[in-house]
Amino acid sequence: MPPKKALVIALSGCSSSGKTTLARLLRDIFPNTFILHEDDFYRPEAKLPIKNGLVDWDCPESIDIPAMADALSYIRENASFPPTLDSKEDQNSVGPCPIPPSLTTTLKSKVLSSLPPTHPLFLLLSNEPNQTPPPLRICILDGFLLYTPAMSPIQPHLDLKIFLRASYAKAKARREARDGYVTLEGFWADPPGYVDKIVWPNYVESHAWLFEDGDVEGKFKRDVLEREGIRVPEGEPLDGDMEATLTWIVDLLLEELRKYA
């Protein structure tokens, strides 16, 4: 097989756990990086399931999983979006960034100094033809359901799997503070009670298998994490400090990139 042209770094976890904020920061810190959002594969609203009398955007059935698997395959081979993909997720607001610009600058300098200038990640910055090794890009895949059993078709396309979590209280507060989301049809705002009727129950149902006694606010099953190759922040914090989490992910990604030095 030809060498892949893009590494796919999956960033998954509870809704409002900071995935999109971290993905955007990583895009700024690492050169030649772009973001693919699970939300870009929502089915049309008319085809979404109904749960507790509400449209359910937070279940595997709401996602066109085969289309996402095809897009990831294309990205690994071409290091760019498929021409048919129209990403809307970057139009959504996630609120003020909690990370000081000074940390972003420090981490960006760390990346530049940690990898040699001949690393494939930097080769796209030059104009030399027929480079060996070939240039390499990073694709950050941001999504709330990336490791559930229903997502098995996308697993072969993931090079690094990171899972973030949040307590019910923090997830509910963050989610309900959002204005809404850009969709194929226009715009969606959570109706009253959506977190308690849809978001949190679906999160528990889809991720209980990762935790002891199915308690998503408790301890991870370490053997399951190892078997699935899922990485979690050091200390397994429930509501982790965003600065510490970002620094940890940067170090983790540098570790992965050194394999391609």
1 occurs within a structural domain: no
The pLDDT of residue 207: 95
User: Cα(232)–Cα(160) distance, rounded to whole angstroms?
Assistant: 11
Catalytic choice (39, 40, 142, 190): 39
Q: What's the pLDDT band for 1 if we cut at 50, 70, 90?
A: very low
- Percent of the chain residues topping a pLDDT of 90: 66
Q: Using one digit for the tens of pLDDT, what is the confidence trace for 58-72?
A: 999 999 999 999 999
39 among known catalytic residues: yes
Instruction: Give domain status of residue 154, yes or no.
Output: yes
- Please say whether the beta carbons of 157 and 189 come within 8 A: no
Inside any domain, residue 32: yes
What's the CATH number where 226 sits? 3.40.50.300
Which pLDDT belongs to residue 62?
94
Q: Give the pair of three-digit tokens for residue 201.
A: 């129950």
CA torsion sign for 105, 119, 18, 233 is: negative
Which domain does 89 fall in, by range? Answer: 6-260
pLDDT of residue 125: 56
Please tell me the total count of domains within the chain. Answer: 1
The fraction of the chain above a pLDDT of 70, given in percent, is: 88
Half-sphere exposure of 168 (CA within 13 A, CB side): 12
Region 124-150 average pLDDT: 79
CA distance 229 to 239: 22
Cα 63 from chain centre? 15
Neighbours of 162 (CB within 10 A): 25
Mean pLDDT in residue range 163-192 = 80
Query: Given a cut of 50, is residue 4 above it in pLDDT?
Result: yes
